[in-house]
């Protein structure tokens, strides 16, 4: 009665071997490496890049241990950190700005294990060191900005159709257009409702004062927020690529938050500066009709003409700029520093996307002889970088911005522009930094807790339950093995609370074996034969084990659903631990007991203490 069919042994054996294979990579350690990944999405990771990297290293006579390619880029392994640093410098100078070259650690997993996808567990920031930021996207600002650009679009449409209005402005997130007659207002509404269908229009007023209000529908607001978040995510991706961090994480969290994790980064000031930059670029027209000295002086005193805003340029001179935005930084596809061929001054060369190029062409054609202001909005303050006179129509979407103080500034600004603008400002609302020594210490703490606890339990179980205790300990060992294997397979992030959850899972999993062993003892005491006692012990304990594990599972799942950060890390391991413990405590320990006792014809007594 205590014999398992062959297939059960085969199943357990297979699971054990798979578990072993996927656990092994955790013991190989890591070696220094350099990771090369494309800085732009248009560039692909391919054989060409691999060969380029290889030839660069060979030419420079830098020895390397391994060279391979994965989805994120090309990785090169080195024997020590000296060659790693040397290689990084060489690669940076050879590959140029199209590629990011970052220092990294690569697991020394043997190739045959890598080929079956076996990797060591993915360690969280508290175990490997690094910075974690949680950024809050200012959605109100995103909506305001969207409304502001609607104002510009409306103006253009109304002018094109020659509809008369005497005022247009943004009130909060609602655009209000003022008309003298209801007929005009209705005409405008019909036109705008056709072109901008996701807005809700309403006409109100009397006599010679009719207001057409356009407000965003809930759907449109949602779309704008989603877009703003996506745009910010993309921008952060680009900016972090410029930082050169290996394996950064940029993820959406909830509806309006972004998590950024930079493993291995110690210079938090630099990281914060780059993330926190809210620089956006706007191109607007200078209001030439009102740029006489008298108006400017009045404006400086606080009387800014309607529809204009007052800013200063780099020399501190006041410039009156129209409120309506011609182009925003979103339309920029590339930017790089350069030198003006005529006077040798530093410039930034900007390339616009198709729609941006079209708008730019129209605006420059209509405004030859006028000035165009390029505004840089950073941390709430706006500066006119330059306000060149438009000499001719500029087509093709290639624009040169002059007015840079020096080459360094041209580089900085082009980096900022290339990395893209944020659709909405963001604020860091959570920061966690863990130094590398702290990370190592945390690993040590977690591992020591688990191992010492395991050892103590093993001794106690064997002393108390003898052979059956030994079986329980082996089952617990298999549990640990499987848990580590599954965590390695899933590449779930392991944190210090996660390590604690491993320890706790073992401490709780032993319950099942205690239940079984106690039950067997009881059956023996009731005068049953050893074989019958084993059978009844496992059988009867099973219901209890199932019930108690389900209740624990419920708690684990709730933790997983509502937890963030450390709690989630704990919950994942907790839940997985419950599942592996069901397998090991019931199936594995039974298989071992069956092997030990199931095939004996006669048992004098069970060694169960």
Residues from 103 through 142 that contact other proteins (CB under 8 A): 126, 134, 136
User: Could you give the 3-state DSSP secondary structure of residue 301?
Assistant: coil
In the list 186, 511, 579, 603, the residue contacting other proteins (rule: CB under 8 A) is: 511
Tell me the closest approach of the beta carbon of residue 540 to other proteins, in angstroms: 8
Question: What is the distance between the alpha carbons of residues 561 and 559, in angstroms, rounded to a whole number?
Answer: 6
Task: Give the dihedral sign, CA 267/271/274/278.
Answer: negative
Residues 6+ apart with CB under 8 A from 4: 590, 591, 594, 598
The only residue of 441, 467, 470, 598 in contact with other proteins, by rule CB under 8 A: 441
Nearer to other proteins, 73 or 565 (CB): 565
The single residue among 84, 232, 442, 580 that binds other proteins, judged by CB under 8 A, is 442
Residues between 181 and 240 that touch other proteins (CB under 8 A): none
Nearest CA-CA partner of 323 in 140, 170, 159: 170
Binding to other proteins by residue 567, rule CB under 8 A? yes
Structure tokens at 566: 């450390």
The span from the CA of 473 to the CA of 454, in Å, is 9
Does 430 engage in binding with other proteins (CB under 8 A)?
A: yes
Least Å distance, CB 32 to other proteins, is 22
425 sits near other proteins (criterion: CB under 8 A): no
Of 295, 461, 309, which is closest to residue 377 (Cα–Cα)? 309
Does the footprint of other proteins cover residue 536 (CB under 8 A)?
A: yes
Position 434 contacts other proteins (CB under 8 A): yes
CB of 269 or CB of 294, closer to other proteins:
269
Using rule CB under 8 A, residue 255 touches other proteins = no
Please identify, among the stretches 51-59, 295-303, 398-406, 437-445, the one whose residues bind other proteins according to the rule CB under 8 A: 437-445
User: What DSSP element (H or E) covers 213?
Assistant: strand 209-216
Nearest-10 Cα torsion for 263, 268, 270, 272:
100
Q: Is 448 in the site for other proteins (CB under 8 A)?
A: yes
494 in Cβ contact with 127 (< 8 Å): yes
Name the residue nearer to other proteins (CB basis): 33 or 536. 536
Closer to other proteins by CB, 204 or 554: give it. Answer: 554
DSSP-derived pairing of the beta strands 73-77 and 66-70: antiparallel
DSSP line for 67-108? EEEETTEEEEE-SSHHHHHHHHHHHHHHHGGGEEEEEEEEE-
Strands 174-179 and 99-107 turn out to be unpaired
- For 204, phi and psi rounded to 5 degrees? -145, 160
Q: Binding to other proteins by residue 607, rule CB under 8 A?
A: no
Q: Which is nearer to other proteins, 63 or 435 (CB)?
A: 435
What's the CA gap between 68 and 354, in Å, rounded? Answer: 37
Max CA pair span of the chain:
114
**What CA–CA distance (Å, rounded) separates 151 from 174?**
10
Interface of this chain with other proteins, residues 487 to 506, rule: CB under 8 A: 496-497, 500, 503-504, 506
Question: What is the closest distance, in whole angstroms, from the C-beta atom of residue 498 to other proteins in the complex?
Answer: 10
What is the three-class DSSP state of 285? strand
How far is it, in rounded angstroms, from Cα 416 to Cα 575? 44
Pick the binder of other proteins from 540, 583, 595, 607 (CB under 8 A).
540
Residue 321 touches other proteins, criterion: CB under 8 A: no
Of 20-28, 31-39, 107-115, 439-447, which segment contacts other proteins by CB under 8 A? Answer: 439-447
Considering the complex, state which of residue 142 and residue 214 has its C-beta at the smaller distance from other proteins: 142
Total site size for other proteins, rule CB under 8 A: 79
Residues 14, 16, 22, 24, Cα dihedral to 10°: -130
The smaller minimum CB distance to other proteins, of residues 403 and 446, is found at: 446
Residues 387-416 that bind other proteins (CB under 8 A): none
Note whether 252 binds other proteins by CB under 8 A. no
Among 167, 460, 491, 600, binds other proteins (CB under 8 A): 460
Stretch binding other proteins (CB under 8 A), from 239-247, 294-302, 429-437, 480-488: 429-437
Q: Which is nearer to other proteins, 508 or 595 (CB)?
A: 508
Which of 87, 281, 510, 534 contacts other proteins by CB under 8 A? 510
Q: Which is nearer to other proteins, 279 or 515 (CB)?
A: 515
Cβ neighbors of 119 (< 8 A, separation 6 or more) are: 25, 107, 109, 488, 491
Residue 371 phi, psi dihedral angles, 5° rounding? -95, 145
Please enumerate, as own/partner, the contacts of 456-465 that have beta carbons within 8 Å and a separation of 24 or more.
457/506, 457/507, 457/510, 461/510, 461/513, 463/609, 464/609, 465/517, 465/608, 465/609
What does the radius of gyration of the chain's CA atoms come to, in whole angstroms? 34
CB of 506 vs other proteins, minimal distance in Å: 6
Nearer to other proteins, 30 or 511 (CB): 511
Does 268 bind other proteins (CB under 8 A)? Our answer is: yes
Q: Which of 402, 518, 583, 603 binds other proteins (CB under 8 A)?
A: 518
């Amino acid at each position: 009665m205590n014999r398992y069919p062959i297939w059960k042994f085969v199943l357990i054996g297979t699971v054990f071997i798979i578990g072993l294979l996927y656990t092994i990579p955790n013991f190989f350690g890591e070696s220094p490496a350099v990771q090369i990944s494309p800085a732009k999405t248009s560039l692909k990771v391919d054989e060409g890049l691999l060969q380029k990297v290889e030839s660069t290293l060979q030419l420079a006579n830098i020895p390397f241990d391994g060279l391979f390619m994965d989805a994120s880029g090309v990785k090169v392994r080195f024997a020590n950190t000296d060659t790693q640093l040397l290689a990084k410098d060489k690669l940076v100078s050879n590959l140029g700005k199209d590629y990011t070259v970052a220092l990294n650690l690569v697991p020394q997993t043997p190739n045959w294990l890598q080929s079956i996808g076996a990797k060591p567990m993915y360690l969280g920031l508290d175990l490997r060191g690094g910075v974690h930021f949680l950024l809050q996207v200012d959605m109100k600002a995103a909506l305001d900005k969207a409304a502001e650009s609607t104002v510009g679009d409306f103006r253009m449409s109304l002018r094109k159709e020659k509809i008369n209005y005497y005022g247009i402005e943004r009130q909060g997130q609602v655009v209000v257009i003022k008309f003298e007659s209801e007929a005009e207002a209705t005409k405008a509404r019909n036109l705008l409702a056709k072109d901008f269908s996701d807005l809700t229009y309403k006409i109100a007023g009397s006599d010679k004062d009719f207001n057409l209000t356009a407000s965003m529908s809930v759907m449109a607001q949602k779309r704008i927020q989603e877009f703003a978040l996506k745009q910010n995510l993309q921008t952060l991706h680009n900016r972090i690529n410029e930082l050169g961090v290996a394996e950064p994480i940029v993820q959406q969290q909830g509806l309006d938050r972004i998590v950024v994790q930079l493993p291995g980064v110690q210079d938090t000031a630099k990281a914060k500066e780059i993330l926190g930059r809210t620089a956006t670029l706007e191109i607007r027209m200078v209001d030439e009709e009102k740029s006489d000295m008298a108006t400017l002086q009045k404006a400086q005193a606080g009387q800014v003409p309607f529809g204009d805003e007052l800013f200063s340029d780099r020399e501190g001179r006041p410039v009156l700029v129209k409120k309506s935005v011609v182009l925003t930084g979103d339309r920029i596809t590339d930017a790089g520093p350069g030198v003006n061929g005529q006077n040798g001054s530093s410039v930034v060369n900007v390339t616009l996307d198709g729609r941006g190029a079209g708008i730019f062409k129209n605006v420059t054609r209509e405004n030859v002889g006028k000035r165009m202001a390029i505004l840089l909005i950073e941390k709430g303050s706006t500066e006119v970088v330059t306000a060149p006179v438009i000499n001719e129509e500029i087509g093709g979407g290639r624009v040169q911005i002059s007015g840079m103080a020096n080459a360094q500034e041209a580089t900085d600004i082009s980096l900022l522009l290339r990395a893209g603008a944020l659709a909405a400002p963001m604020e860091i609302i959570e920061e966690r930094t863990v130094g590398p020594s702290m990370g190592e210490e945390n690993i040590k703490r977690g591992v020591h807790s688990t191992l010492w606890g395991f050892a103590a339990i093993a001794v106690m179980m064997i002393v108390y339950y003898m052979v059956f205790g030994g079986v329980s300990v082996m089952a617990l060992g298999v549990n640990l093995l499987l848990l580590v294997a599954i965590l390695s397979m899933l590449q779930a992030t392991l944190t210090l609370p996660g390590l604690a959850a491993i320890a706790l899972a073992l401490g709780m999993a032993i319950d099942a074996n205690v239940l079984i062993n106690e039950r067997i003892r009881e059956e023996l005491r009731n005068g049953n034969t050893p074989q019958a006692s084993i059978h009844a012990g496992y059988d009867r304990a099973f219901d209890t084990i199932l019930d108690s594990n389900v209740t624990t599972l419920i708690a684990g799942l709730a933790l997983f659903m509502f937890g963030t950060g450390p709690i989630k890390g704990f919950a994942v391991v907790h839940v997985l631990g419950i599942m592996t413990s069901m397998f090991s405590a019931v199936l594995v320990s039974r298989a071992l007991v069956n092997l030990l006792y199931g095939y004996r014809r006669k048992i004098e007594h069970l060694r169960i203490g």
